[in-house]
Chains A and B, each alone.
Chain A
Amino acid sequence: MSTHDLEDMGCGTSSSTKDRKSEKALKAALVIQNWYRGYSARLKARQRYALTIFQSIEYADEQGQLQLSNFFSFMLENYTQIHKKDPELVARLFGSTLQDYKDRQDYVSHIDVPDSYHGPRLQFPLTFTDIDLLVEAFKQQQILHAHYVLEVLFETKKVLKQMPNFTHVKTSPSKELTICGDLHGKLDDLFLIFYKNGLPSGSNTYIFNGDFVDRGKHSIEILMILFVSFLVYPNDLHLNRGNHEDFMMNLRYGFTKEILHKYKIHGKKILQILEDVYTWLPIGTIIDNEILVIHGGISESTDLNLLHHIERNKMKSVLMSPIPLDEDRDNDLKKNKINTTIIPREVKTNGSLSEQLTKHEWEQVIDILWSDPRGKRGCYPNTSRGGGCYFGPDITSKVLNKYQLKMLIRSHECKPEGYEICHDGKVVTVFSASNYYEEGSNRGAYIKLCSGMNLRFFQYQVTKATCLRPLYQRVNTIESSAIRILKERMISRKTDLIRAFQLQDRSKSGKLPMGQWAFSMENILGLNLPWRSLSPHLVTTDKNGNINYMSSFEDIHIQKPVKEAQSTLIETLYRYRSDLQIIFNVIDSDHSGLISMEEFRAMWKLFNSHYSIHIDDFQIDDLAERMDLNKDGSIDFNEFLKAFYVVHKLDNVNKSDSKLA
């Protein structure tokens, strides 16, 4: 704080006027500065709140995803009631793939690349020119032909299979290593990294720490660049598996959709092979025997020795937990008190149970891919995400010391500055997808390190504008985006919310004090958010400061696909639409997009009972028929689910662009 030395101003007789003037100017400046700092701080707080909203909803959604795992177990245990002759469905849920990929050469060679194709043509064996070729082609928005995609995937699997679970890497004073975090299909970020840091090569080593796909629009392009680079420089491009390198996650978070859209004919095959390739991605990297690089984190029981030796390719998906063997089953049954039927013996595919990891091994991998560091000591279940755990600084010390490591570098969490250091410098998070939630939401970063030197962090932010927009505009954008998805969450729980409000509103005034409104919101939505600060965006308040709780629902509603359909039914289907989509996709083993009315009914019955939803079967049937879907006894479920979307009355466009859809 500097003080203006008034004695230096002015001279002679006019000095007092000058003093007064400069004093006035000083005061005026103070007023403006004070105001501006207050305003700027409030902007930054709003930005934070928006990020908190995005993150809470993202994790709550992941939790929903993981809860599906329970549903699948439940489904399996009641399997015989679904469909007696569907070995593919069982195989899917047991995690084994029936197909034999000896047919690879046949398949790929049967896909012709027509002369009319002007996209990039890769030459096998791949060289660095192919990396360049791809980068340039993708910059021109070209799409790589399915023939090459499949060729790359088959080759990648072949080479990955030879890699150990953990790659051990050494740096040297002349050879630096670059570590990148989540990219999530944001190709512009990858281009920016390559622009600033150079393409991968024998002298430019990279580690990509998982979550290459989902959410962004160019997941396949990122995968292709990374896999091709890997094939050209297998010892200098290291890929770690993230929790999104999982076909079940892709179903929910957009990658599956992207593939089926870009590759209408061969998309299904690509998805099938991809499932397999994922499982061969290494679990992590260890640098100079000092630094552990993994996607998520650790738990107090993390056993690196075990993890070095498991058969990592048996980890198909986070949603496919190992089916217990008979003795385990009995124990599980006693623990969970599930009322089940015995799975018929003939349903097991050949040696299917030995194709799984043990429960312990499986949990070890989940911890690595899903855990988050927190300030609180100890190790707790990660309740936000529903998988992995929260680990405290004491856990970090314990595990690092046990294996004589110095540091953990991980990703998995979006950070406003692209990176964050915690646990006394022992844990570093690096996240490489800038503008992850919305334009302006966060920076991306990468790390450079070499032996004997401190880590260096590089930040960036992709922006479409030639100059960055002013802060208040950026904050407005992310704030309105966050509020929008929060409102959609509210509408999907409308019935439960109103019930909770009305329970507290004994005088039926339609109003509640702030504290009670906030409590219900948190309780019903299960989101730990600063409700008081957010309330001006969500509800109206009367002059006494009481909340008009119904006002949230005035400018937003779920579009009724059919006029006569009941609101609660529509709300339920809207709320569970992502889950239902995944379930349908799993049942639809041949990826035809259709399931039979019978399968639909049976699945709906199970879903109904497992999630304790009180919708009558005939209501669903009725709805399905009224929506005039294929009258041939089969349902196009994508069409079915697309029909449920939210209308924001204040929009000009009808369709909601919810990212979570």
Chain B
Amino acid sequence: MADDKEREGPDLVVAEFHKKIKDAFEVFDHEANNTVDVREIGTIIRSLGCCPSEGELHDLIVEVEEEEPTGYIRFEKFLPVMTKVLLEKRYRPIPEDILLRAFEVLDPSKRGFLTKEELIKYMTEEGEPFSQEEMEEMLSAAIDPESNSIRYKDYIAMMVVDDG
């Protein structure tokens, strides 16, 4: 089997990527007609292990949309674009230590936590702001109910274990 892999190398890798992409796409293809709602493309791409920013995601969508956008993305257009993304290892996920440092930047006095208000301010006013729904979702898991603050080290540790 190892021999096979060497001989067929890149083809096998691409074939496996194709299957992986197909699996992820199908799960969101509710009507089983090889299309998904454009609003779910971000979820699909991220579920494949990539972490594009909102801006980068927007560009990807433009690549896979129809000439005249229909609100749906077809698998035939999605597959080659996504395969390339995986092959080029684009949009690598954020490593845990970088994530921790990001929180520490927002907590310059090194208290070890952010207040709820601070997190809301940063997440909804800076960068690529969260929607209200995203903010509520993040808070529900991140908030330590006793202190009403976000103990970011614990939070990261918890999320990382879960994310597999």
Contacts and interface: CB of A to CB of B under 8 A. Distances in A.
Given A375-B31, A476-B162, A41 B26 contact: no
Interface in B43-58: 43-47, 50-51, 53-55, 58
Given A35-B51, A515-B19, A45 B44 contact: yes
B127 interface: yes
Interface residues of A, number: 56
Interface string B70-114: 000000000000000000000001100011011101100000000
A374 B32 contact: yes
B63 interface: no
B99 A35 contact: yes
A46 B163 CA distance: 10
A310 interface: no
Nearest to A372: B32
Interface in B147-164: 159, 162-164
Interface stretch (A114-122, A525-533, A622-630): A525-533
A472 interface: yes
B16 A34 contact: no
A41 B138 contact: no
Nearest to B106: A28
Nearest to A518: B19
A105 interface: no
Interface string B121-164: 01101111110001001101100000000000000000100111
A338 interface: no
A127 interface: no
B54 A35 contact: no
B58 to A, nearest CB: 8
Contacts of B122: 25, 28-29, 32
Nearest to B141: A470
Interface string A505-548: 00101011111001000000000001111001000000010100
A537 B127 CA distance: 35
Residue of B15, B16, B47, B129 with most chain A CB atoms under a 10 A cut-off: B47
A422 interface: yes
Contacts of A28: 101-103, 105-106, 122
A653 interface: no
Interface in B31-69: 31-33, 35, 42-47, 50-51, 53-55, 58
Given A28-B103, A39-B159, A518-B19, A34 B51 contact: yes
A393 B7 CA distance: 46
Contacts of A34: 51, 53, 94, 128
A376 interface: yes
B43 A26 contact: no
Given A1-B55, A32-B102, A25 B23 contact: no
A209 to B, nearest CB: 20
Given A32-B99, A36-B138, A530 B126 contact: no
Contacts of A4: 125-127
A24 interface: yes
A31 interface: yes
A149 B26 CA distance: 46
Contact of B106 (A29, A37, A38, A509): A29
Contacts of B98: 31
A533 B20 contact: yes
B51 A470 contact: no
Given A44-B43, A48-B27, A472 B141 contact: yes
B30 A420 contact: yes
Nearest to A36: B138
A40 interface: yes
A101 B44 CA distance: 58
Nearest to B47: A45
B23 A33 contact: no
A70 B116 CA distance: 62
Contacts of A1: 54-55, 58, 128
Contacts of B128: 1, 30, 33-34
Contacts of A468: 140
Contacts of A473: 141
Contacts of B105: 24-25, 27-28
B137 A471 contact: yes
Nearest to A376: B33
A652 interface: no
Given A1-B54, A45-B27, A515-B16, A31 B94 contact: yes
A38 B23 contact: no
Interface string A401-438: 00000000000000000001010000000000000000
A475 to B, nearest CB: 9
B1 A533 contact: no
A46 B44 CA distance: 11
Nearest to A41: B46
A40 B131 CA distance: 13
B46 A33 contact: no
A559 interface: no
A166 interface: no
Given A28-B105, A375-B32, A546-B1, A33 B123 contact: yes
Contacts of A514: 16
A45 B94 contact: no
B4 to A, nearest CB: 8
A472 B2 contact: no
A33 B130 contact: yes
A511 B45 CA distance: 29
B149 to A, nearest CB: 16
Contacts of B28: 48
A52 interface: yes
A383 B125 CA distance: 51
Contacts of B43: 41, 44-45
B27 A49 contact: yes
Nearest to B19: A532
A490 B126 CA distance: 48
A117 to B, nearest CB: 46
A42 interface: yes
A2 interface: yes
Contacts of B140: 468-471
B2 A544 contact: yes
B62 to A, nearest CB: 14
Given A26-B127, A32-B103, A40-B137, A536 B2 contact: no
A29 B123 contact: yes
B140 to A, nearest CB: 4
A30 B23 contact: no
27 contacts: A1-B54, A1-B55, A25-B122, A26-B127, A28-B101, A28-B102, A28-B103, A29-B102, A30-B127, A32-B127, A33-B128, A35-B102, A36-B138, A37-B134, A41-B43, A375-B30, A375-B33, A422-B31, A470-B141, A471-B137, A471-B141, A472-B159, A507-B1, A513-B5, A530-B27, A532-B23, A533-B20
Which 5 A-B pairs have CB atoms at the shortest separation, nearest pair first?
A375-B33, A375-B31, A45-B47, A41-B46, A530-B23
Given A1-B54, A38-B94, 8 more contacts: A25-B122, A30-B128, A32-B106, A33-B54, A37-B51, A48-B28, A375-B35, A472-B159
